[in-house]
Structure 1
Amino acid sequence: MASKKYLLLAGAMTLLAASPGFAQVKPNYDALDSSKVSARNMEQFNSFRNNQSDYPAKPRNMWELGFHGGYHFIKGDVAALPGFGGGISLRKALGHTFSIRGEYTGSFDYGLDYQLKAPNYSNSNAWAATAANNGGMVVPNYKSATHALSLDLIASLSNILFYKAQPKVNWYVLAGYSVLAADVDVDALNGTAPYDYSTVNFSGKKKDIRDELKDMWDKDFEQNAPSQGNRVQIGRQDDNQLLRHALNLGTGIAFKVSKRFNIGIEEKITMPFDDYLDGYTAGAYDASKDIISYTSLRLNFNLGNPNKRVEPLWWVNPLDFAYNELNSPRRMKLPTPVLPDADGDGVTDQFDREPNTPAGAPVDSHGVAKDTDGDGVPDYKDKELITPTYCQPVDADGVGKCPDPECCKNIQTFSCASLVLPSVSFKGSSTRISSDFEAVLGSVANTLRQNPSCNVLVTGHAGAKGKKGGVDLSSRRVDAVIDYLAEKQGIDRGRFIKQNTPGDAGTVDLAPAN
């Protein structure tokens, strides 16, 4: 019988799992939704939202109200017949894995053996008449009406799924404590007369033996069953209620139909540590105790306002928010991206069309060195930043060669010998050209530009006696004049001829060399 029960249970679970009606339901848990956080957890919620804490607040979640019914039997010393149990439960989540459930279960259990046994007379003479009529033997039977209150701790095994947003199937195991009251009675008399088993063929098949006994059985259960331990005066027969503590163990599976409803199948074993729930014990040397088995179909409903509570937490994947945050960040503080810029011009390498511009060189939005006048020489090399178009092309330094104006093309130029060039004076032993003489040399440069074929004799004076120190000073002053005209004014050095002669050591004379 038990094997048929488990086959039926496996078939029902397979049918539920294969049903297309049990679709995946999108979770409604949002760790940033304050409407589902209780007042006592609001401080943690605000701390998490403001990035002061790494852990979100636990949301308010619904209670689960359940109704259950199913196959109930007692495994003991007497062969069991099918029984029925049913009841109501209330479950509350402690977290995403653990929950606690209070439950009431009422049941009727029956048993009828298929062999003669010696009766038990520990504190009852219920079987005395029938035993005396059958050579001291009886066929044990019972009817047990049980009321059980239990408190179970349940551990869910399926709500932490790494590849789904929310579970649609929830496996769980449970363990807990029960207190139960059992009214156990036996059918020891056929009406008022003892049973006579002489007509029963106890050597036949078990099913045939039971069929004969059932035909004989009046199912009146008029006697209190033998028992041990405490009783109270509650039940169909006086002084016949067993009060027992028990340990619960079990497992189950639930299938989500909607956010409000799920269907479950559960197998629960209750161990009351008593050998008289079936009204019979094999004797003083029998160490086994009766066990209650309950296989139930469970209809569960979630209670609570969905605007203020999420589903029971065993239906909520605690990793769902974290995965959604990784995909579409709303709370994470993302650092400012640091992109490579090899030349440090402010344009990242990914978009830099000229990734090796010198440090400090001005660039455009594409990282290309600027060329303000468009002469082909970048600004950081251009010595003439704005060169008119008519003065281009330019040399390597970006300096253009402007043509003579139309008005000056017909001006008659003088011969080099007729040029009159000034002298440059120096103070003390200085070789520095004063600002006044820089202007003088500027005019000399203009004259030389207008007469490109004329060379210049630059004469220094070493003093009246031509002392060695005077020659050195004179030579450095000549170099200073030539350097200024060449470097500052752009006159070719090859047009200058140097010489030193006696004379006023404070001056450098310029004269045509042609």
Structure 2
Amino acid sequence: MNYSTIKTAIACSLVAALGLAETAQAQEPTVFGGRSQYRTWTIGVNGGFTTPSVLVGGSNSFGKEVGFGEYKLREYYGISLRKQFSSWFGLEGNINRGRIFAHNEEGLKTTIDPWNAPGLPANLDYESAETSVQYSASLNGVFQLATIDFLRRENAVNFYASVGLGLLAYNPVLYTDADGSTGEWNNKGNWGADSQNAGDNDFKKATNIPVGVGIKFKLSDRVALNLGYTMNFVDDKTLYGPVNKGVNDNFSYTYGGLEFSLGSSSKPDLTWHNPVSTLYDELKDPSLRNELEALKQRVTTLEGLVDELGRDSDGDGVSDKFDKCPNTPAGTQVDGAGCPIKFPEPEVAESATYSNIQFEFDSSVLKTESYSTLDRLSSDLRESGASVTLDGHASAEGTEAYNMNLSRDRANSVKQYLVNSGVDANKVMVNALGESAPIASNATEEGRVLNRRVEIKK
């Protein structure tokens, strides 16, 4: 497989991974939350050293016979910016610069290729090379692989792998000795218009494929320690100068750094979110398990009610289960109980009779503790045939338009519950007030909790 095929495969893989992350996030159950509930941007700084080799093998123009302990390390450093799309995948941009030093074992020589360096005498030998990297820019897919303590709600240690595509601007300098002090041949100016490598007079550019692994340690809610190793496969044979060699060059970068989570302090970081722990809680935590069993029981009851609601013997629009006046003549206008309307419809008692229906942050899902209030309201409405108004509200996080839609969804959740229990849908009106009518301060979490509500009014 040639280098162009590898680049195409990696680009397609990143696009596919991004699409899968978006699809998984869109289909993620409510218990895991949506991406809007998390911080998803991270900025990082890193620094370390380079070596003219990679773990998976291959050879360079220099250092073919040199062990790790004999490498002369050089500094390398950079910054990164990452967008996390799910708990396992993110896209990260990296910019680095620094130096790479390579040398032969004593007595070995590397020969300049005059075809790649016009004007130089043939068979000119060198023992070492130092390459200055003006910049290395890449876009990488970062895949979080595992965590040490997978039962914690938020991970503390994450293992990851990354792969991407990049652009490298570099300038090699060659030396006749092994320590890089004498016999200098500087590449600058040799990529000009009169050479075969025409383009940039100071730095040559080439694409590269960075492939890395690493481990992250969560130091605080905002800061993480990042340790990693990246292999860079360069699509060029002149990273260490215009030498006689038939394969592309490579180098590795070993580093440590810090990452800083960006965004609202009221939201957790998606990088450290652990859906495995959330699933474990759902299955093993006694209180959550009891709540789940209660929900299952209510679903079973509602399924039975649906079957009964399908029967309407007298055709008056009220099911037999709730019809208090069976066999009503056809065409008779009836109330919610199936009885002929003779008097003005009574109204529901003052709203103080019913407590507000509360909701979790950014959610329109009913809590189980609301069921008793709603069951009592449903019974009263069915007996009286009265109408009720549901005012939906939201706290002040997010935009006004978003909160308006959220408040409407909350009010409709309450209405749907009442209708499913037998209340006439025409007797239930819904108002969406968004964040416009708080009953407590939105400056504190306690106040925001009270503002996420539906009020029951006559």
* TM-score normalised by the chain length of structure 2: 0.48
Higher helix fraction (1 or 2) = 2
Tell me which structure has the larger Cα radius of gyration: 1
